[in-house]
Each structure stands twice: as C-alpha cells, then as structure tokens.
Amino acid sequence: MQFKAKKQLYLNTSMGLICLLVSSGAMLLLLAIVFFIARESWPVWSAMGPAQLIGGLDWNPLAKPPLLGLGAMICSTLWTALGAILLAAPIGLCSAIFLAEFAPAWLAAIIRPVLNVLTGIPSVVYGFLGAAVLVKYFEISWHMASGESLFCASLVLTVMVLPYIVAASESALRAVPSEYRQAALALGVSRSYAVLKVLLPLTARGLLGALILAFGRAAGETMAVLMLAGNILLFPTSWFSKGEPLSALIALELGTSATGSLHYHALFAAGLVLLAFVMGVNLFINILMHYKGKRGT
C-alpha cells in the first residue's frame, strides 16, 4: 500500500517535471526567435532611430542614403487585418452563437466540419482565387484600372480567419455552465434574451480572445495578401486604396536584399514590428482578462 503511494507520488512529480520541460522549451523557442530578430535588426534601429523607422513614410532601400520608413506598411497591415476582423467578427460570432445555442445537432454536425475545412485550404489557393475572381470583379464592375486593394485582401482574410473565430467563440460559449441557461429560462425570458443578456456578457472575454487570435492570424498572413493588396509604396488613405502590408514587404524583398545591408536589417525590423504588434495585442488582452471584468452585474 505504502509502496503504491510512493510510486504514485514519484509518477506525479516526474509528470509535472516533463510538462514543465516541454512548456519551458516552447517559451525558450519564442524568446530565441524574438532575440534573433531583434539582433538582426539592431543595426538599423541604432542607425535610424525608432521614430524615423516606424514613422517614416518613404521606402526606397536603393536610394543613397537608403530611405527606410515603415509607416505606410504598418498602416497597410492595420487596414487589412482590422478590416478583416471588422468583417469576420459579426459573421463569426453569430455563427458561433447559432452553433452553440440554436442549431439542431445534425445541422451543427454538418456546419462544423465544413468550417474546419476552410482552415485546411492553403493560403496560396486563397490568393489565387482572389486574384482570379475578386481582382477581376473589381476591375470590371468598379472600373478600377487595376483591381488589387487592401479591401480585396481583407475580404479574403475574412474567409481565412472565420473558422478560428467560430471555433474559439463556440468553445467559450459552451464553457458556460448550463445552470445559467436553465436559470434564465426558468425565469421565463426568451431564448434570444438569455443568449444576448446572460451568455454574451459571461463570455465577453473569451469572445474577445477569439478576435485577437484571428487578428494575429490576419496580420501575419503573407501569401494571399501579397497577391491581393497591390504592393504599392503610397500611404494608404482608405480601405480601398492599394498598399503593402509588412508581411508582403518582407516576402517581396528579403530574397533580393544584400545580406548585412541596412535594407536587410530594415526587413528584420519590419518583422520585429509585426511580431511586437501581435504579441502586444495578446499581452493587452491577457491584462484585460486579469482585471475582473467591468461587467455590470
């Protein structure tokens, strides 16, 4: 008996140790990536200064001296990613509510796998479809000289991030104990009232987390955006102008930049900005989660 307990104890501690090892390994990997990108981009930060690099609007790496302002790219990234979230959030949240609360089991069993298939489509295929269908449509119907735009990229990103929003929101909704639903319905409110006034406030942070996950996904997406955003160096003044998001900039120019040049370091700086962006937003959300919500009870 005692021996068994000892063995159990031994097993438990070793299990814990292994989990700790694995998770700290993942942590270290992330830190190593951040460290490497920071190190590779350091020369340009020190040479140009962060304000000029992030705030500068002119990008011409071959000029003498090179102009390396990432402002227009940062703005393009915001337009495409936030635009995609703006479009995907209502659709995604409504789908999640429908799947979690209203859909009959057989229908949910059809919709869920279909949505999951969307995550499996390679982004090149999305980009190709967008270039073949959307770009042509904008050229013909809107009489644009050339159909690429940030909006075009946002539309495709919307479809790409939708499954993430739906899956994460649905699991957040399902995590609410059923007592709340029963209590609400027992008080005689309608189903929709129970969802809107009881469940949504309870899961608000989970839903926000879903949107953040999607935002990170949208900001980092490269191939489809590269094919659809238009990649021009002008500062995007509207959602319908063309632009060059950070990820597209890196994909376009890293192959052709000379190693060790300021241009090369500036591309790493662009990567760092993108990384800081997504991580910063994640951090912000985590802090929000910690402060017990400003939920009016």
Partner 1 sequence: MVRNNKLLAVFLVVLSLFLLAGCGQNESKATDQTGDTASQMQSIKLGGSSTLAPVVAQCADSFTEEYKTWNKVDPQLPEEPIVIFVSTGGSGFGVKAALDDTVDIGMVSREIKDEEKEKMPEGKIFKLGSDALTMAVHPRNEVMQVKPDLTTDEIKSIFAGEIKTWKELDVKLLGNSIVLAIRDLGGGASQVFDEFIMKGTPVAKEAIQLPSMGALAGKVMENQNAIGYVSFGLVKQNEGQLGVLKVDGVTPTLETISSGEYKIARPLLLITKDAPNTKEQLFIDYLLSDEGLKVVEEMGFVPAAN
Residues that bind partner 1 (CB under 8 A): 7-8, 11, 14-15, 18, 21-22, 60-63, 136, 139, 145-146, 148, 226, 230-234, 242, 244, 251-253, 255-259, 263
Question: Which C-beta is closer to partner 1: that of 62 or that of 114?
Answer: 62
* Among the listed residues 212, 206, 222, the one whose alpha carbon sits nearest the alpha carbon of residue 277: 212
Residue 243, strand partner residues? 230
CB of 234 to partner 1, least distance (A): 4
Rounded CA-CA distance 66/58 in Å is 9
Residue 68, strand partner residues? 59
Rounded CA-CA distance 44/175 in Å is 47
CB of 71 to partner 1, least distance (A): 13
Strand runs labelled E in the chain:
59-60, 67-68
CB of 225 to partner 1, least distance (A): 11
Question: Which C-beta is closer to partner 1: that of 125 or that of 283?
Answer: 125
Structure tokens at 109: 């069993």
Question: Which C-beta is closer to partner 1: that of 207 or that of 250?
Answer: 250
Question: Which C-beta is closer to partner 1: that of 22 or that of 32?
Answer: 22
Rounded CA-CA distance 269/187 in Å is 57
* Beta carbons of 244 and 229 less than 8 angstroms apart: yes
Q: 3-class DSSP state for residue 243?
A: strand
The amino acid occupying position 180 is Y
Question: Which C-beta is closer to partner 1: that of 21 or that of 287?
Answer: 21
Q: 3-class DSSP state for residue 67?
A: strand
CB of 189 to partner 1, least distance (A): 44
* Among the listed residues 193, 211, 208, 175, the one whose alpha carbon sits nearest the alpha carbon of residue 295: 208
CB of 109 to partner 1, least distance (A): 30
Helices 150-174 and 200-220: crossing angle in degrees, nearest 10, is 140
Structure tokens at 19: 């989990």
List CB contacts of 229: < 8 A, sequence separation 6 or more: 76, 80, 148, 149, 150, 152, 153, 242, 243, 244, 245, 248
Question: Which C-beta is closer to partner 1: that of 71 or that of 206?
Answer: 71
CB of 60 to partner 1, least distance (A): 6
CB of 266 to partner 1, least distance (A): 11
Encode 263-285: b = buried (16+ Cβ within 10 Å), e = exposed: bbbbbbbbbbbbbebbeebeeeb
CB of 77 to partner 1, least distance (A): 16
